[in-house]
Amino acid sequence: MKVTVVGAGAVGASCAEYIAIKNFASEVVLVDIKEGFAEGKAMDLMQTASLNGFDTKITGTTGDYSKTAGSDICVITSGIARKPGMSRDELLGINAGIVKSVAASLVEQSPNTIIIVVSNPMDTMTYLVHKATGLPKNRIIGMGGALDSARFKYRLAEALEAPISDVDGMVIGGHSDKGMVPLTRLATRNSVPVSEFLSEERLEQVKQDTKVGGATLTGLLGTSAWYAPGAAVSGLVQAIACDQKKIYPCSALLEGEYGLSDLCIGVPVVLGKNGIEKIVEINLSKEEKAALTSSAEAVKNNNTALTF
Ligand code: NAI
């Protein structure tokens, strides 16, 4: 199993590290545009191998895509990240050019690859990769919901004063502060609806804290987060590499599901060796449906800025 990660920055390197530590891939290739950067990150990570007990071989290259040839899965994290006060949408202009050219180089070397898009604004970048590469829709996946759901579970566990492993919950919709739809109605603590434990006001607070989860960290760190994003990407990569058939909310091309089409947005999908093996349509309440529809309108509006 060969995995390429483009962008050896905060998220790319974190994701490479988690993939290596989970020890399911034979090879991870890091690519960056900054001279020597991916090579340096790869060497540093390889020097953790004997300490962390993994056999995954990590290499780095400054833009030599021939080194990525035959990758089973490619992850795109290249581009700029937001600074405090910025929205993810403000990154569109710069990141669209980067993501488009990176996707083309990856597909040239690995025509059968599955691509995971991370660069923001992620739903729009995922749509761009669909349009620019023409790859089958099951092979292009946007990562956002897995991270947002992890942040939702963190906030739920905090409110419930319960261990995170007892908590389940999912965030669908666009990967943006306004676009996220945390499904509090379906969240559970050991199979019991969380509404049994938390007031409506407290649940609303959990929802709001989840939606601004990225912005809160950007304010604290001065740049966007990397541990949880890297771990979330590694979860998706592992589900595909190990054919786990796990359900994650991912940005997928919709063609009528949830009454939406011609956009990529976060919905629950089954991930296995073919990438997106099924889009799961859950029954949403009227309110949740309206929130998803409004989120989709915002993503579609962003998409109009793209050229293919
Ligand atoms: P970073 O600045 O630490 O790393 C980005 C890397 O991309 C840099 O090393 C840069 O040299 C490289 N790069 C730029 N242009 C390139 C090109 N043409 N080819 C190869 N490499 C290139 O940024 P960070 O924090 O790793 O974030 C990366 C992206 O991921 C950002 O757009 C950020 O907004 C997004 N992100 C998305 C998340 C999600 O849930 N979808 C979560 C966190 C970040």
Is residue 262 located within the same domain as residue 156? yes
CATH code, domain with 258: 3.90.110.10
**Tokens at residue 16, please?**
């490479």
Is residue 231 located within the same domain as residue 109? no
pLDDT confidence bin for 29, thresholds 50/70/90: very high
Its sign, for the CA torsion 207, 278, 242, 104, is negative
Is residue 176 located within the same domain as residue 294? yes
Is residue 36 located within the same domain as residue 18? yes
The predicted complex's ipTM stands at: 0.99
- Split into its structural domains, the chain has a count of 2
pLDDT tens-place string over residues 66-79: 999 999 999 999 99
pLDDT at residue 44, as a whole number:
98
CATH code, domain with 86: 3.40.50.720
Give the residue from 94, 111, 142 where a domain finishes: 142
Residues having CB within 6 Å of any atom of ligand 1: 6-12, 31-34, 37, 77-82, 91, 95, 98, 102, 118-120, 122, 143-144, 147, 175, 224, 226, 229
Is residue 280 located within the same domain as residue 135? no
pLDDT at 193 over 90: yes
pLDDT at residue 86, as a whole number:
85
Is residue 109 located within the same domain as residue 188? no
Q: Which three-class secondary structure state does DSSP give residue 278?
A: strand
Is residue 114 located within the same domain as residue 154? no
Is residue 134 located within the same domain as residue 165? no
Instruction: Specify binding-site residues.
Output: 7-12, 32, 82, 88, 95, 118-120, 151
Residue-number span of the structural domain to which 232 is assigned = 146-304
- What DSSP character marks residue 234? H
Instruction: Specify binding-site residues for substrate.
Output: 82, 88, 120, 151
Is residue 97 located within the same domain as residue 226? no
Is residue 274 located within the same domain as residue 241? yes
Candidate of 5, 6, 11, 33 to mutate for ligand 1, largest count of ligand atoms within 8 Å of Cβ: 11
> How far apart are alpha carbons 232 and 260 in whole angstroms?
25
Is residue 202 located within the same domain as residue 80? no
Is residue 151 located within the same domain as residue 129? no
Cα 46 to Cα 58, 128, 135: the distances in Å are 6, 33, 32
34 Cα to the center of ligand 1, angstroms: 12
pLDDT tens-place string over residues 76-98: 999 998 889 888 888 999 999 99
